[in-house]
Amino acid sequence: MQKTLISSLIIASLFTLTSCKKEIPTPEAITNDAVESSVQVDTVAAKKAIEVEKEKLSKPYNEQEDAQAKINELIAKAKLEGKNVFVQAGGNWCIWCLRFNDFVQNNQELKTIVDANYLYYHLNYSTKNKNKEVFEKYAPNAKSLGYPFFFVINGEGEVTNVFGSGDLEADKSYDVEKVKQMFLDNSPKK
């Protein structure tokens, strides 16, 4: 009888463990759920932080501006002044675009180089104004570069260079020496 009782308890225990095991999540499932939840929270927090940062930065892109007319005006002025037109393509929706503008405007050494060699223009790309014709005219193959990307136009209206900003980045900002060199390399040859 004792053997039967022990056997019955063992069978009952195994049955209970087997049926409970299906209800208890595995450690892998718990870890995956925790990671997904953590990623969602981190993503939401990161988006909020970016929105807060965007609010603090100046918005240099003008969605209503006739970009071609403005570029024509800048090319004529650049020719008279012996400068190039430096075009930063992007939009006020783009945190990296706003960061680059802020980076250049708040670094006196960079600002001095820019002011001496360029007329700076922020070419808007947004849902309200994509400036499709301007992008096709000056940088038709730049779609793969991401935003911001840049192009340089000389006083004759010729594009001398088109390049992305990815190589200039450092953490959540830009590398001063790389940006400085980029401006120096694309300045007008005097």
Query: Each residue of 84-104: pLDDT tens digit?
Result: 999 999 999 999 999 999 999
Residue 125: what pLDDT? 97
CATH fold for domain 67-185? Glutaredoxin (3.40.30)
At residue 27, does pLDDT exceed 90? no
At residue 18, does pLDDT exceed 70? no
Amino acid identity for residue 169 in this structure: E
- 67 Cβ contact list (under 8 Å, min separation 6): 123, 124, 131, 134
Identify the burial level of 88 via C-beta atoms within 10 angstroms of its C-beta, where 0-12 means exposed, 13-18 middle and 19 or more buried: buried
> How far, CA to CA in Å, does 38 sit from each of 46, 47, 49?
12, 14, 16
Residue 24: what pLDDT? 41
What distance in Å separates the CA atoms of residue 183 and residue 70, rounded to the nearest whole number? 21
Domain ranges of the chain: 2-56, 67-185
At residue 9, does pLDDT exceed 50? no
Query: Each residue of 113-149: pLDDT tens digit?
Result: 999 999 999 999 999 999 999 999 999 999 899 999 9
At residue 20, does pLDDT exceed 80? no
Residue 76: what pLDDT? 98
Phi/psi at 61 (5° precision): -90, 135
Whether a cis peptide bond, with omega within 30° of 0, leads into 25 is no
